[in-house]
Structure 1
Amino acid sequence: MIIRPRVQRLLLSRLLKILLVLTLAWTAYEVWSIRHALAEQASKEPPPFGKQRIFIASIHWTDERILREYWVPAVLQLAQDIGRENVFVSVYESGSFDDTKGALQELEDHLARMGIDHKVVLDDTTHLNEVSRERAEVGWVQMPSTKTYRQNWTDWFSLQKDEWVPRRIPYLARLRNQVMEPLYEQQQLGNVYDKILWLNDVVFDTEDVQRLLGTRDGHYAAACALDFKRAPAFYDTFALRDAAGYAPLTDTWPFFRSAESRNAIVYGRPVPVASCWNGMVVFDAKPFYRIVDRLAFRGISDTLAASHLEGSECCLIHADNPLSHEKGVWVNPNVRVGYNGTAYHAVNDGHVWPSSYAIMTGVWQNRITRWLRVFSTPDRIVEGKLRAAEQWAPDTTEPDKFCLIDEMQILLWNGWGHA
Structure 2
Amino acid sequence: MKAKRLWRRVPTPLALLVGLFLGLFIGRILPPSLFGLSWARPNTPVFVSSLSARKHFTLPNVDQRKRVLELLSTLSPYHTAECTRNSQPLYIQQVRDRYKPLVASRSPSSPSSWMPSLGLGLSDPDGVYVSPVREHKYYFAINLYNSFDIIPDLFATLFRVSAILGYHNVFVSIYENGSNDQTKALLRIFDSITKSVGLRVTIRTSTRTRGAFNHRIEYLAEVRNQAFDPLHELRDANNEFFDTIIFMNDILPCVDDVLELIWQSRRNNAGITCAADYVYHNDLNTPVFYDNWVSRDINGTALENAPFENIFHDPDSSERFQRHLPIQVQSCWNGVAILDPAPFYSPPYVRFRMAEIVEGECSASECSLICNDYWKAGYGRIVMVPRVKLAYDRKVFDLIHPPRKNLTAIRGYVRIGGLPDDPRYDPQDRSWFGPHDRVFDAQENDEIEFQPGPSHVWCWGWDGAGDIDGPDVDPIWEAMPKRSQTTEAVTVKHDRSLDL
Confirm or deny a common fold (TM above 0.5): yes
* C-alpha distance in 2 between matches for 1:182 and 1:244: 36
Partner of 2:297: 242
* 8 Å contact kept, 1:90–1:180: yes
Matched residues, number? 300
* 8 Å contact kept, 1:213–1:282: yes
Could you say what secondary structure the match of 2:227 adopts? helix
Larger Rg: 2
Could you say what secondary structure the match of 1:191 adopts? coil
Per the normalisation by structure 2, the TM-score is 0.54
The match for 1:219 among 264, 269, 278 is: 269
Q: Cα 1:118–1:323, aligned 2, differ >3 Å: closer, same or farther?
A: farther
The match for 2:329 among 254, 273, 279 is: 273
Partner of 2:256: 207
Per the normalisation by structure 1, the TM-score is 0.64
The match for 2:138 among 54, 60, 63 is: 54
Deviation (angstroms), 1:66: 2.0
Deviation (angstroms), 1:400: 7.8
* 8 Å contact kept, 2:290–2:305: no
Deviation (angstroms), 1:120: 0.7
* 8 Å contact kept, 2:357–2:363: no
* 8 Å contact kept, 1:202–1:339: yes
* C-alpha distance in 2 between matches for 1:406 and 1:124: 28
Deviation (angstroms), 1:297: 0.9
5 Å matches for 1:353-392?
Answer: 356=430
Q: Cα 1:61–1:400, aligned 2, differ >3 Å: closer, same or farther?
A: farther
Could you say what secondary structure the match of 2:308 adopts? coil
Partner of 2:226: 178
Give the percent of matched residue pairs that are identical in Structure 1 and Structure 2: 24
* 8 Å contact kept, 2:142–2:173: yes
1:228-274 Cα shifts (integer Å, max 9, x gaps)? 12253111111111111111145211311123422321332111100
Could you say what secondary structure the match of 2:164 adopts? helix
RMSD of equivalent CA atoms: 3.2
Q: Cα 1:357–1:333, aligned 2, differ >3 Å: closer, same or farther?
A: closer
* 8 Å contact kept, 1:410–1:418: no
Amino acid at match of 2:457: F
Q: Cα 1:313–1:326, aligned 2, differ >3 Å: closer, same or farther?
A: closer
Amino acid at match of 1:316: L
Partner of 1:72: 155
Deviation (angstroms), 1:356: 4.3
**Is the counterpart of residue 104 in structure 1 residue 187 in structure 2?**
yes
The match for 1:229 among 273, 279, 294 is: 279
* C-alpha distance in 1 between matches for 2:197 and 2:91: 35
Partner of 1:194: 243
**Higher RCO (C-alpha under 8 Å, 6+ residues apart):** 1
Unaligned runs of 5+ residues in structure 2 are: 1-89, 104-134, 281-285, 405-422, 434-453, 473-500
Deviation (angstroms), 1:418: 6.1
Partner of 1:286: 342
**As a proportion of its length, which structure holds more helix?**
1
Partner of 1:36: none
**Is the counterpart of residue 119 in structure 1 residue 202 in structure 2?**
yes
* C-alpha distance in 1 between matches for 2:297 and 2:358: 27
* C-alpha distance in 2 between matches for 1:198 and 1:342: 23
Deviation (angstroms), 1:402: 2.4
Q: Cα 1:401–1:167, aligned 2, differ >3 Å: closer, same or farther?
A: farther
* C-alpha distance in 2 between matches for 1:286 and 1:250: 32
**As a proportion of its length, which structure holds more strand?**
1
**Is the counterpart of residue 84 in structure 1 residue 167 in structure 2?**
yes
The match for 2:391 among 330, 338, 341 is: 338
